[in-house]
């Protein structure tokens, strides 16, 4: 004779993040993701961290800057000795379930406009 206990959570659980994403659902980093290049004038640009944010939030994050810098310095140790001259943040369109978002926007009153975005975790 078995008893079943049902636990009711009062707080909605966040949607699970796809397994290939950079952060888990507790916002802990799982992997590093970095890209960079050297410009013609000699400056080196590195970036690619992923931070969940609110719409129109373009603030930069100290932890993210430190993490990107450490990761870049593992690849190119001389970067450790250089000063950071500037930082930026921008939007990267990842879908919550990791699947691409493809379709027509005519339902939003934009006939003839299609989107193909959200590719890759």
Which residue from 100, 106, 96 is spatially nearest to 119, judged by alpha carbons?
100
Cα angle 103, 17, 5 (rounded to 5 degrees) comes to 120
Main-chain phi, psi angles of 114, to 5 degrees: -120, 155
**Residue ranges of the alpha helices (H) in the chain?**
62-75
What integer pLDDT is reported at residue 109 of this predicted model? 95
The mean pLDDT values, 10 residues at a time, for the chain of 121 residues are: 52 60 69 82 84 80 85 88 88 78 94 87 60
What integer pLDDT is reported at residue 97 of this predicted model? 75
Q: Which helix (H) or strand (E) holds 47?
A: strand 44-47
What integer pLDDT is reported at residue 113 of this predicted model? 96
Structure tokens at 107: 């339902």
What integer pLDDT is reported at residue 59 of this predicted model? 85
């Amino acid at each position: 004779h078995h008893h079943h206990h049902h636990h009711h959570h009062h707080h909605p659980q966040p949607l699970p993040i796809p397994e290939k994403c950079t952060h888990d659902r507790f916002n802990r980093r799982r992997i590093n993701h970095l890209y960079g290049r050297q410009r013609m004038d000699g400056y080196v640009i590195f970036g690619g961290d992923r931070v969940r944010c609110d719409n129109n939030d373009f603030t930069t994050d100290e932890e993210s800057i430190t993490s990107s810098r450490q990761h870049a310095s593992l690849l190119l140790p001389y970067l450790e000795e250089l000063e950071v001259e500037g930082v930026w943040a921008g939007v990267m369109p990842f879908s919550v379930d990791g699947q691409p978002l493809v379709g027509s926007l005519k339902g939003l009153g934009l006939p003839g406009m299609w989107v193909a975005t959200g590719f890759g975790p």
